[in-house]
Amino acid sequence: MDSLEKLHGIISNAGEYITGFKQKSGKKVVGVMHPIVPQELIYAAGLYPVRLFPMKKETITKAHESLQAYTSSIFRAIWDQVLKGGFDFLDAVVLPESCETVTYFARGWQYNRPGDKVFTFSGVRYHKNENGEKLFRKQSERLIKSLEDLSGQKVTDSALADAIDLYNENRRLLKEIFAFRKEQPPRISGTDFFAISLASAFLDKQEANAVLGKISDELRKTGGAGDRSKKRILLSGPCIVDKKIYESIESSDAYVVADDTNFGLRSFNSMVDPDKEPIAALSNAYADVPCPFSTSAETRLRVLEELISEYNVDGVVFAIEKFCEAETMDFPYLEKNIKEKLGKPVLLLETEFLGDLAPIKTRIDAFVESIQ
Amino acid sequence: MKKLECGKAVSGALRQYYRDIWEKRPLAWSVVSSNPLNDICNLLGIQVAYPENYACVCAAQHLSEKYCTIAESNNYKSDLCSYIRNNFGFLLDQGSEHPLGGLPKPDVITVVSNACLNYIKWFDALRLHFDVPYVLLNTPHKMSQDDDPSLYVDYVAGEIEEAIKELEKISGRKVTSAKLKETAHYSREQGKYWREILELNKSTPAPLNFPDLANLIFVPTSLSGTELGLSLLKQAYEEVRDRVKNGVGAIDDERHRLILLNIPPWYRLGISSYFAEKGCVLPFGDYTRYVWCTQDIDDSDPLEHFAYKALGMATDGGYGSSTVETLYGPLEKRIEEDIKAYNIDGAVVQINKSCKIMSTGGLDIARFIRDKMDIPVVVLDADQADERFYSDAEFKQRLDAFFDALGE
C-alpha cells in the first residue's frame, strides 16, 4: 500500500516533514510531551502541535551534563537532540505534569535554555471530578493565553470547535484502523499500525486524516492475508518509538493485534464530546487517557482486559522503558491479574533508547513458542 | 557528637507512636511529606503509619538487601525507589520477624501527590494489595516560575474537603471547625519552631549536626498538627537555644561547615562521624531545610492553611518545598543565600537513584555551587535505602579528596 510505505518513510524523517510543513503553512511549531496535553488548544491558536520523541537515532552524549543516566532514556534522547540542534524547528514546548523525568525536568529545560518558550500544564493528572474540571479550565486558560501570545491569534469558540472536530476525526480514523486487527489474520500488521500512529503524532492533522482515510478505505476493501495460525499479541508500554519491537514480535510466529502505548491507543482512545462546552468536554476526555501516571493500575487493567477479550489476545508483552517508574510500578498488579484472572501468559521486556534488541528477540521467540 | 537531652522525649514519643499504631484503630498508611491528611487523621483519632519511615528503619537495620531482593523477585524492579522495594519486600516476606514488629494492616490508604509521583503509584499499589479505601490528595507541582500557589489553593482546599468527608466516614467522628482551627494552629506553630531551630543552627559552632535534625524531623512530620508535637519542638528549640547561648557545638572541633543535598543513606548515617573526625559539621541540607514546607502559613482560615501546606509552594516571599518546586531557579537563590547565612565552606551533593525528584537537577546545582559560590563540591552516588551498591571505601576515598580540597 503506497500510503503506508510513505508513512514508514516519513517516520524515519520526522524532522524533515515538520520543517517542510512549517515552511509551507507558515505556522509555528509547538512540541508536546505525552498524550495528556489537549492539543486542540494549540491547533485552535493557529499553531502546529507535534508530539516530541527522539527524531534521530543518535547516541545520547550531551544530555548527561544535566540528566542522570537513570532518567527516561527517551526523554534524555529528546533533550540530547534539543541541545544538539535537532529540534531547532520548535517555537515552543508544552510539558505536562506527567512522568517523573518530564515533571522534574520542566524547570531544568527552562534553566538550561532560558530563551526557549516552555509552557507547562500542572496538576491535572487526577481531575476526575467537578473540582478537577475547574483546575483543568484554569490551566487551559493559562495555556491558551501563552499560545495566543505565541501565534498572535485568538482561540475563538469556533476555532476550538473546529479543532475538536478535526482531532475527533483523527481519533475515529485511528480507532477504525486499529479495529482492522480484530480479524485473524489481521488486515494490517502491528508494525504498520505503529507507523500510522507515530506519524499521526506529528503530521498536520488535516494531512494525517487524508492519509488515514485513504488507508482505512483500502483496508475495508481488502481482507487480511497471512498465516491464520500465528499467535495474537497485545503490546503494552510507554513511549515506544522504535518499530523494531513490533518487527521483532511479528517476525516471530505472531501478530501484534492491539497496543496500549503512549503513541498508540492512549493517544486516541478518548473522544471529545462535541456537544458539550469545549473545555468541559476536553477535561472529560483527557481524564480518561489511560496513562499510568494519570490513572490507577486498576483502570489500566480494565482497558487491557477489554483489549484482550475484544482482540482475542493469546499473550501480552509489556515493553517497559527502563526508569519509567509509573509503568514499572503497575506491572506486578497487571501481570498477576492478567495471568491469574484471564489465564494469559505475560512477557516483560525492558527497553532503552537504541538498546540492543538481540536478547529481546530471543526472549520474544521463546515466549511466542511457549503460548499454547 | 553530643546528643540532645530532648532526644529521650522524642524517642519516647516514637516508641509510643509505634505502640499506638498496633493498639489503636482505625489505622491509615500515609506519606510523611508536608501532608495535611496526617494532621486531619491525627485530629480524627486515626492512627497513621508511614511506610517510608519504616523503610528507613529497615535500611538502618541493614535489611534492605533482604527486602529489596524479595521485592525484585516479585517484579518490583530495581529501578524503583528503594523505599517502595523495602516496603513490598517486608509485605511479601510473610512469617519472618520484622523490625519493631512490622506495620499492622491499614484500614485506609491516604496519599498526597506533593511528595513525588512515584508515591501515588506506590500507594495505589498498596490500596490494591490491601483492598481498603483510598484517599488521594492531588496537589499540582510547580513546574514554571509563574505557577503561583494562589492559582491552586481553591482546588486543593476543595480536594481536602472531599478527603475530610472520606476520613470522617472511616473514623466515625466529625471534624469540627474549632478542632480544625486548633490543628492548623499546631501545624503553623510546629513550622515556626522548626524554622527557629534551623535559624539557631546558623550559629558557629552549629548546635546541631545532620543526624540530630534527621531524628527531630519525625516530630513536625509524623506528629503533625498535634499538641504533643508542638511541645516536643518547643523543648528542642529551648535546648538548642541554650546550646547557642553557651557556645556548645554539635561536634567537638568544628572547622568546616558543609551543606548536604539529597536524602542520606539511612544504612550509613554513622558516616557523619567520619565528617566530624575531620572537623566537618552539616548544619543543614535540603532534606532538613527545604523538603517539608515549614514556611509560615497563615492559619486564620484553617482549610486554606492546609491547602497551602499541601501545595508546598512558596508563599509571600517564603520558601516552599524543593520536592514540589523542583531544583531550579528559586532553589539556586535559596542555596546561595543559605550558603552565605550558614557560613558554608563545602558542599556534599548526593545523587540518589531512588529519589528522582531530589536528584534530577542535582548535577546543575553542583555545578552552580562550584562555579558561582566558589567552594569545593563533592558529588557522591549513594542510594537512600538500598545498601547493596554502597561501598564505604569508595565513599571515604572521594570524601578524603574532598577534605583535602577543603584544607585544614
**Would the CB atoms of B117 and A293 count as touching at under 8 Å?**
yes
**Would the CB atoms of A67 and B360 count as touching at under 8 Å?**
yes
**Would the CB atoms of A107 and B326 count as touching at under 8 Å?**
yes
Quick one: angle between helices A278-287 and A157-179, nearest 10?
Answer: 30
| Position B400 confidence tier, pLDDT thresholds 50, 70, 90 | very high
From B376, B380, B379, select the one nearest B406 (Cα to Cα): B376
> At CA B285, angle to CA B281 and CA B287, rounded to 5?
135
Q: Where are the domains of chain B?
A: 7-173
Neighboring chain B residues of A70 at a CB cutoff of 8 Å: 79, 353, 356
CATH of region B7-173, choose from 3.40.50.300, 3.40.50.700, 1.10.357.10, 3.40.50.11890: 3.40.50.11890
Q: For A145, what's the count of Cα atoms within 13 Å in the CB-facing half-sphere?
A: 8
Interface with chain A: mutation pick from B76, B81, B143, highest number of A CBs within 10 Å = B143
- As a whole number, mean pLDDT of residues A244-251 equals 96
- Asked if residues B36 and B161 have their Cβ atoms less than 8 Å apart, the reply is no
- As a whole number, mean pLDDT of residues A172-192 equals 97
Cβ-based neighbour number of residue A310 at 10 Å: 12
CA distance A194 to chain B (A): 27
Which residue would you say has higher pLDDT here, A366 or A291? A366
Whole-number pLDDT of residue A127: 63
Q: List the single residue in A100, A123, A331 with the smallest CB-CB distance to B139.
A: A123
Whole-number pLDDT of residue B132: 98
- Asked if residues B144 and A110 have their Cβ atoms less than 8 Å apart, the reply is yes
- Distance CA(A125)–CA(B141), nearest Å, equals 11
Pseudo-torsion of CA B151, B152, B154, B159, nearest 10°? 170
In angstroms, the Cα distances linking B290 to A125, A361, B269, B318, B330 are 25, 46, 20, 11, 11
**Would the CB atoms of B128 and A298 count as touching at under 8 Å?**
yes
Q: Where are the beta strands (DSSP E) in A238-314?
A: 254-261
Q: Could you tell me the three cell numbers for A343?
A: 489465564
Q: List the single residue in A122, A134, A292 with the smallest CB-CB distance to B143.
A: A122
Q: Which of A299-303, B163-167, B322-326 has the lowest mean pLDDT?
A: B322-326
- Distance CA(B317)–CA(A202), nearest Å, equals 41
pLDDT in tens, A258-274: 999 999 999 999 999 99
Percent of chain A with pLDDT over 70: 99
**Would the CB atoms of A298 and B361 count as touching at under 8 Å?**
no
- For cell 501527590, name the residue: B113
Name the closest residue on chain A to residue B328, using Cα atoms. Answer: A107
Q: Is B319 left (phi over 0), alpha (psi -120 to 50) or beta?
A: beta
Rounded to two decimals, the ipTM of the complex is 0.93
- Asked if residues A253 and A371 have their Cβ atoms less than 8 Å apart, the reply is no
Q: Are strands B256-261 and B346-351 parallel, antiparallel or unpaired?
A: parallel
- Distance CA(B138)–CA(B343), nearest Å, equals 38
Q: Could you tell me the three cell numbers for B82?
A: 528503594
Q: Is residue A140 exposed (0-12), middle (13-18) or buried (19+ Cβ within 10 Å)? A: buried
Q: Could you tell me the three cell numbers for A117?
A: 518558550
Percent of chain B with pLDDT over 70: 98
Whole-number pLDDT of residue B291: 77
**Would the CB atoms of B113 and A125 count as touching at under 8 Å?**
yes
**Would the CB atoms of A65 and B363 count as touching at under 8 Å?**
yes
> How is residue B144 annotated by DSSP?
S
Q: List the single residue in B138, B154, B162 with the smallest CB-CB distance to A125.
A: B138
- Distance CA(B311)–CA(B83), nearest Å, equals 23
Residue B19 has pLDDT above 80, yes or no: yes
Q: Which of A78-87, B79-88, B178-187, B286-295 has the lowest mean pLDDT?
A: B286-295
Partners of A106 in the β-ladder: none
Whole-number pLDDT of residue B328: 59
Q: Is B62 left (phi over 0), alpha (psi -120 to 50) or beta?
A: left
Partners of B49 in the β-ladder: B29
Whole-number pLDDT of residue A222: 85
Q: List the single residue in A120, A296, A323 with the smallest CB-CB distance to B79.
A: A323
Which residue would you say has higher pLDDT here, B305 or B224? B305
**Would the CB atoms of A331 and B364 count as touching at under 8 Å?**
no
**Would the CB atoms of A66 and B363 count as touching at under 8 Å?**
yes
pLDDT in tens, B322-374: 677 765 566 778 889 999 999 999 999 998 989 888 887 788 889 999 999 99
Query: Dihedral of CA B220/B223/B224/B226: which sign?
Result: negative
Residue A81 has pLDDT above 70, yes or no: yes
Residue A19 has pLDDT above 60, yes or no: yes
Neighboring chain B residues of A142 at a CB cutoff of 8 Å: 146, 151
From A216, A231, A219, select the one nearest A184 (Cα to Cα): A231
Name the closest residue on chain A to residue B145, using Cα atoms. Answer: A107
* C-alpha R_g of chain B: 20
- The number of angstroms, rounded, from the C-alpha of A87 to the middle of its chain's C-alpha atoms is 18
Neighboring chain A residues of B151 at a CB cutoff of 8 Å: 138, 142
Q: Could you tell me the three cell numbers for A120?
A: 507547562
- For cell 485552535, name the residue: A44
pLDDT in tens, A37-55: 999 999 999 999 999 999 9
**Would the CB atoms of A97 and B141 count as touching at under 8 Å?**
yes
**Would the CB atoms of B138 and A66 count as touching at under 8 Å?**
no
**Would the CB atoms of B140 and A135 count as touching at under 8 Å?**
yes
CA distance A173 to chain B (A): 33
**Would the CB atoms of B329 and A110 count as touching at under 8 Å?**
yes
Q: Which of A97-101, A141-145, B76-80 has the lowest mean pLDDT?
A: A97-101
Whole-number pLDDT of residue B217: 87
CA distance A284 to chain B (A): 17
Name the closest residue on chain B to residue A322, using Cα atoms. Answer: B79
**The CATH number of the domain covering residues in A2-157:** 3.40.50.11890
Whole-number pLDDT of residue B117: 81
Neighboring chain B residues of A348 at a CB cutoff of 8 Å: 75
- Distance CA(A51)–CA(A38), nearest Å, equals 11
- As a whole number, mean pLDDT of residues B219-227 equals 89
In angstroms, the Cα distances linking A295 to A125, A284, A288, B25, B292 are 8, 13, 8, 30, 26
pLDDT in tens, A304-327: 999 999 999 999 999 999 999 999
Interface with chain B: mutation pick from A325, A327, A334, highest number of B CBs within 10 Å = A325
Query: What stretch of H or E contains B285?
Result: strand B280-285
**Would the CB atoms of B76 and A107 count as touching at under 8 Å?**
no
CA distance B122 to chain A (A): 7
**Would the CB atoms of B138 and A348 count as touching at under 8 Å?**
no
In angstroms, the Cα distances linking A290 to A55, A114, A295, B146 are 25, 33, 6, 29
Interface with chain A: mutation pick from B112, B117, B150, B368, highest number of A CBs within 10 Å = B117
Q: List the single residue in B79, B144, B351 with the smallest CB-CB distance to A110.
A: B144
Neighboring chain B residues of A71 at a CB cutoff of 8 Å: 356, 360
Q: List the single residue in B120, B154, B326 with the smallest CB-CB distance to A104.
A: B326
Percent of chain A with pLDDT over 90: 84
**Would the CB atoms of A332 and B74 count as touching at under 8 Å?**
yes
Residue A196 has pLDDT above 90, yes or no: yes
Neighboring chain B residues of A99 at a CB cutoff of 8 Å: 117
Whole-number pLDDT of residue B292: 76
CA distance B139 to chain A (A): 6
- Distance CA(B395)–CA(B352), nearest Å, equals 13
Q: List the single residue in A66, A101, A293 with the smallest CB-CB distance to B356.
A: A101
- Distance CA(B302)–CA(B187), nearest Å, equals 10
User: What pTM was computed for the model?
Assistant: 0.94
3-state secondary structure of A84: coil
Q: Which of A257-266, B35-44, B313-322 has the lowest mean pLDDT?
A: B313-322
